[in-house]
């Protein structure tokens, strides 16, 4: 590594990339004091050199050609362009040249992480990715360094700020999903194509990374349970709240009796649960250890500066560490996958016609062996019946029978604690 100055290449000068540039400038003194040398961005890859940016950047540093970054003498490259293609090829080529990589790219890690870890080890470079999970919260560092003696039974949390913002707006202002989404897009919290966020992919990528870090293995992405917020509606949120819960998009990685579980789903949390207090674009991670108990970490999960903070802190930390091989990542065979066990469910039943009274429906469920512990019954202005249940033993088959016999549509969500 060159002396005197740490030469940094930057792939992507969007929101996070701009924040990284600003942070390296504003925190230069602290960086230099800690590292004994200045940190300088010497080359930055962009799509369009003429684009107006919120951050000032020397025209000489900017390029649209990846080859210019590869040819520049850089010690370390920050990848904040997102996506797998071409990010994977770029990162691979840089590692092969001996560059350390700091990335915020959860999709890249969840889809090609195992290969990248192997490449990093083969070329004796470091791969750092604190910024890929939970923005400014240093959760990966904590798990890697300070919770290694505990058995970690689960790591769960609110890992996607966009969907948490949308859910908060829906609940607080009774906005339908589409309106809340549009508002989030106008405010820059959601992208023009919100698929990855609202369908739960983004949160799943992050859970995948957490599982690899904590357990040294994860599930293939397709084997995880994944349900987004795109079909949630206000009626469900309102009935859940009447029953004493708030619906959050909960991501969860856990290990029980050797089996890894990975899931993302709208989940009912008791209103006094710490994760239920996490509102707007905040993220929070709850770690359960067998000795320490439950720990909660909360902070801004997205946005220019919180994520840039994680990138730059990660970069500085990396430069204080000697190279040690990164623990390998593996994927668990799908045949060993067990679904997340979930004793309690929230069943949202909505009548499509008027073929049964609440009493008849509850009587049917009782005889079918479904144990109901809480219930709320509503009729809306159009006299549509809605029933919210917290129950155990409700299966898909019950849902099908309710539809056949009563014209009832059933949506089922996990409940964290009844």
Q: Taking the CA atoms of 385, 389, 391 and 395 in sequence, report the sign of the dihedral they define.
A: positive
Q: What pairs with residue 11 in β-bridges?
A: 45, 79
Minimum Å gap between C-beta 234 and its own copies is 22
Q: Under a CB-based contact definition with an 8 Å cutoff, are residues 15 and 21 in contact?
A: no
Site for its own copies in 11-70 (CB under 8 A): 23, 26-27, 30-31, 34
| Cβ neighbourhood burial of 37 (10 Å; 0-12, 13-18, 19+) | middle
Minimum Å gap between C-beta 135 and its own copies is 8
Q: Under a CB-based contact definition with an 8 Å cutoff, are residues 115 and 326 in contact?
A: no
Of 73, 85, 293, 396, the one binding its own copies (CB under 8 A) is 293
What stretch of H or E contains 330?
A: strand 330-331
| CA distance linking residue 174 with residue 157, whole number of Å | 24
215 lies in the site for its own copies, by CB under 8 A: no
Nearer to its own copies, 168 or 345 (CB): 168
Separation in Å, CA 91 to CA 17, 78, 171, 409: 16, 9, 41, 47
379 lies in the site for its own copies, by CB under 8 A: no
328 lies in the site for its own copies, by CB under 8 A: no
Given the rule CB under 8 A, which of 216-224, 295-303, 339-347, 384-392 is the region that contacts its own copies? Answer: 295-303
Given the rule CB under 8 A, which of 199-207, 306-314, 384-392, 393-401 is the region that contacts its own copies? Answer: 306-314
312 lies in the site for its own copies, by CB under 8 A: yes
198 is in an annotated binding site: no
Nearest to 123 by CA among 107, 99, 144: 99
Active site residue 343: no
136 lies in the site for its own copies, by CB under 8 A: yes
291 lies in the site for its own copies, by CB under 8 A: yes
Given the rule CB under 8 A, which of 248-256, 309-317, 360-368, 384-392 is the region that contacts its own copies? Answer: 309-317
| Peptide bond between residue 86 and the one before it cis (omega within 30 degrees of 0) | yes
Q: Residue 256 has which token pair?
A: 């029980």
Minimum Å gap between C-beta 352 and its own copies is 39
How many residues make up the chain in this entry? 418
336 is in an annotated binding site: no
Residue/partner pairs of 84-88 with CB below 8 Å, 24 or more apart: 84/108, 84/111, 84/112, 87/11, 88/112, 88/116
Looking at 111, 206, 248, 300, which residue is catalytic? 206
Minimum Å gap between C-beta 141 and its own copies is 5
Nearest to 110 by CA among 227, 251, 13: 251
Q: Residues at the annotated binding site for L-homoserine?
A: 191
Residues near its own copies (CB under 8 A): 23, 26-27, 30-31, 34, 130, 136-138, 141-142, 145-151, 272, 274, 277, 289-300, 305-306, 308-310, 312-313, 316-317
Q: Residues at the annotated binding site for NADPH?
A: 106
Catalytically annotated residues:
206
């Amino acid at each position: 590594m060159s002396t005197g100055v740490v030469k940094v290449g930057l792939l992507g000068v969007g929101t996070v990339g701009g924040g990284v540039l600003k942070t390296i400038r504003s925190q230069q003194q602290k960086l230099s004091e800690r590292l004994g040398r200045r940190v300088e961005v010497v080359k930055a890859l962009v799509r369009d050199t003429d684009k107006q940016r919120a951050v000032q950047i020397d025209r000489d540093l900017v390029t649209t050609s990846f080859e210019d970054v590869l040819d520049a003498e850089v010690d370390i490259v920050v990848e904040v362009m997102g996506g797998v293609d071409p990010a994977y090829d770029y990162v691979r080529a840089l590692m092969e040249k001996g560059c350390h990589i700091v990335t915020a790219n959860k999709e890249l890690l969840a889809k090609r992480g195992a290969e990248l870890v192997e490449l990093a080890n083969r070329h004796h470079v470091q791969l750092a990715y604190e910024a890929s999970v939970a923005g400014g919260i240093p959760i990966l560092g904590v798990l890697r360094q300070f919770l290694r003696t505990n058995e970690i039974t689960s790591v769960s949390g609110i890992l996607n700020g966009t969907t948490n913002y949308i859910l908060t707006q829906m609940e607080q202002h009774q906005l339908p999903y589409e309106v809340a989404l549009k508002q989030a897009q106008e405010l820059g919290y959601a992208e023009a194509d919100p698929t990855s966020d609202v369908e739960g992919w983004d949160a799943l990528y992050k859970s995948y990374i957490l599982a690899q870090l904590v357990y040294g293995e994860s599930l293939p992405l397709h084997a995880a349970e994944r349900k987004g917020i795109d079909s949630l509606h206000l009626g469900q949120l309102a009935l859940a709240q009447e029953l004493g819960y708030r619906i959050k998009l909960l991501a969860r990685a856990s290990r029980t009796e050797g089996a890894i579980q990975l899931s993302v789903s709208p989940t009912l949390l008791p209103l006094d649960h710490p994760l239920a207090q996490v509102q707007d674009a905040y993220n929070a991670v709850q770690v359960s250890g067998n000795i320490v108990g439950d720990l909660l970490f909360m902070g801004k999960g997205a946005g220019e500066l919180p994520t840039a903070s994680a990138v730059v802190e990660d970069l500085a930390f990396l430069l204080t560490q000697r190279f040690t091989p990164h623990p390998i990542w593996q994927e668990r065979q799908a045949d060993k996958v067990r679904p997340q066990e979930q004793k309690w469910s929230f069943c949202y039943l909505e009548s499509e016609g008027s073929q049964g009274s609440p009493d008849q429906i509850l009587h049917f469920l009782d005889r079918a062996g479904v144990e109901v512990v809480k219930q709320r019954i509503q009729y809306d202005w159009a006299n549509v019946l809605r029933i919210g249940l917290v129950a155990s033993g409700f299966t898909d088959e019950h849902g099908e029978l309710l539809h056949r016999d009563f014209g009832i549509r059933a949506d089922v969500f996990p409940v964290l604690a009844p």
